[in-house]
Amino acid sequence: MDIDAWVWWLVGATGLGIGLVITAMPELGMLAVGAVAASVTAGIFGGDAVFQVLVFVIISTALIAVVRPIANRHRVQRPQFASGVDALKGRQAVVLERVDGSGGRIKLAGEVWSARALDTARTFEVGEEVDVVEIEGATAIVM
């Protein structure tokens, strides 16, 4: 029983896909797409083995050359927007109760927060605007 070449390419693509899932190496996924392209080439166009391997190499290399740099760039980029407590850093707040090195209260983003002065010698009085430098637990560190 002779198995067609396109079936072997699909078997190879499946093996690469399983490797992708096990190792989480995206390059294996790109190689799997190249194997599928070679399978389509073998199934539709027939083509000899050299042509099929050439399609596999070209598609796989093109995907790795194009997709990998884009993925790396997105991996190292910081998110465009901040959320949670990160979104509160750098915002302004209004002092509701005197804030000093030991504590106080501020209104930040429509909510009442406990606050502490970054500079322990500094005191902020009611009504003053302060900048949030850091959030530690449920306490805003202000200056």
Q: What is the DSSP string of the chain?
A: -PPPHHHHHHHHHHHHHHHHHHH--HHHHHHHHHHHHHHHIIIII---HHHHHHHHHHHHHHHHHHHHHHHHHHHHSPPSS--GGGGTTT-EEEEEEEEETTEEEEEETTEEEEEEESSTT--B-TT-EEEEEEEETTEEEE-
**What's the pLDDT tens digit per position in 84-117?**
777 788 899 999 999 998 999 999 988 999 999 9
Rounded to whole angstroms, the Cα distance separating 14 from 10 reads 6
Q: Are 35 and 16 in contact (CB under 8 A)?
A: yes
C-alpha to C-alpha distance for 99 and 79, rounded to whole angstroms:
32
Predicted confidence pLDDT, tens digits, the chain (143 residues)? 567 999 999 999 999 999 999 998 989 999 999 999 999 999 998 878 999 999 999 999 999 999 988 888 888 876 667 677 777 888 999 999 999 989 999 999 889 999 999 988 899 999 999 999 999 988 999 98
